[in-house]
Amino acid sequence: MNLALKDIRHNFGRFALTAIGIGLLLMLVMGMGGIYRGLVDDATLLVNRINADLWVVQKNTRGPFAEISRIPANTEDRVRAVPEVASSDDFVSHTIQREQAGRPLRMTVQGLSWPQDKGEWLPLIAGRRLAQAHYEMIADKSLGLSLGTRMALGKDTYTVVGITRNMASTAGDSMVFVTLADSQAIQYDQSGEAVRLEREARKTRASEFDPGRVQPEILNRAVGPSSGIPALGPPPVSAVVVKIMPGADLAHVAAAIASWPDVSVYTADAQRQLLVGGMVDKSRRQLGLFRGLLIIVSAIIMALILYTLTLDKIHDIAVLKLMGARNMVVINLILQQAVLLGAIGYGIAYLAGQWVFPVFPRRVLIVNEDLWLLAGIVLAISVLASLLGIWRAMKVQPNEVIS
């Protein structure tokens, strides 16, 4: 006869409510760990997906994710000319906020170097890759956009042709993917009045310049589109992603590019360290602190609950001792209930988390390593929490039956 199970059946309602409460508390611990994992994974998501060997960014910056980076568009051609470089592609990233169907949408726009990069590396769950140079967009599922949805960005309208999953920026903003030219058009879009004022300002500056006074054609060019002025280059890009040839010396290629006076170079590992150790470091440490506090609170609550359950059984424990039961019988009674309470609470936490975590605004990434670690922590908490109840049970004397 198992005394622990007999006692649970006798006080089933109280035990069930206690298990549910502990389960919800453990679900918070599990969710905090999942948010921690999701935060780190989102921070390094693009670096891992793009899988570039080197990232070329603006000199003395930690871009393109940790801070703003602007380098000339022709940097891609310069990098491609470096020996042992297999490929180089422009990379543009910026965040915008728009409205769609009356609701605000905050998104991070990523420019793909089309046609070399059509988004083959994106985890599509519906639709297709980019098939033309303009006006097509791949959006993350979290934005709530369906295939075929048309959205006005800048002065153009884009059609959603593909849907991805779990593609979010470090700040948790959903990502959309367009071609490089479209992303720059969105980033540098200006109202008609702003364009007119800029052209008038160019005309004024040209008229005050000696050649502008004697060559009226310069003034006509100044009030035209920027693309018609030879001195103005194309819009800058955020970075250039580089892949080297198989067997090439990564350090040698990086040193050759880093010797240029206008750029800085980071390996993929260095870029990850900048993101995890810089951008998300405070959030990561804060989540870890909250997770540790929740574990401590869980241990204290379980200890108090088991102590209370032991107090309710003082008379029964005294009867057992009066009948000649050994101390191990009482210890097993409390210890088995503690472990069972922790196991049931852990199961409730896992099942409830599968239902609740997908609706969290930030991604909750639950991995097997964290589940096994939490299971071990729960087992340790259960055993430690039972010590308070065992201590109280050992103080019970057989003659307390009379009282």
- In DSSP terms, 56 is beta-bridged to 240, 265
- Position 158 scores a pLDDT of 93
What is the C-alpha R_g of the chain?
32
d(CA 266, CA 252): 13
CB 174 within 8 A of CB 108: yes
Residue whose tokens read 């609706």: 359
d(CA 291, CA 288): 5
Tell me the helix, strand and coil percentages in the chain, rounded to 5.
55, 20, 25
DSSP state of 226: G
- Position 363 scores a pLDDT of 83
Q: What is the DSSP annotation of 19-78?
A: HHHHHHHHHHHHHHHHHHHHHHHHHTHHHHHH--SEEEEETT--TTTSS---B-TTHHHH
- Position 1 scores a pLDDT of 45
- Position 342 scores a pLDDT of 86
DSSP state of 303: H
From residue 373, how far is each of 23, 33, 370 by CA, in Å? 16, 11, 5
From residue 354, how far is each of 41, 350, 351, 358, 375 by CA, in Å? 19, 6, 5, 7, 16
d(CA 290, CA 324): 47
Q: What is the DSSP annotation of 331-395?
A: HHHHHHHHHHHHHHHHHHHHHHHHHHGGGSSS-----HHHHHHHHHHHHHHHHHHHHHHHHHHHT
CB 107 within 8 A of CB 176: yes
d(CA 91, CA 64): 9
pLDDT tens per residue, the chain (403 residues)? 455 566 666 667 777 888 888 888 889 888 888 888 888 888 888 888 888 899 999 998 887 887 888 888 888 889 999 999 988 888 888 888 888 777 888 899 998 888 888 888 888 999 999 989 889 999 998 888 889 889 888 888 999 999 998 888 877 788 999 999 899 888 887 777 776 777 777 667 666 665 545 566 655 555 556 555 655 567 888 899 999 999 888 999 999 999 999 899 999 888 888 888 776 777 778 888 888 888 888 788 877 877 777 777 766 666 666 666 677 777 777 788 888 888 898 999 999 998 998 888 788 888 888 899 889 988 888 888 778 777 777 776 666 555 5
- Which among 179, 183, 167, 174 has a CA at the least distance from the CA of 44? 167
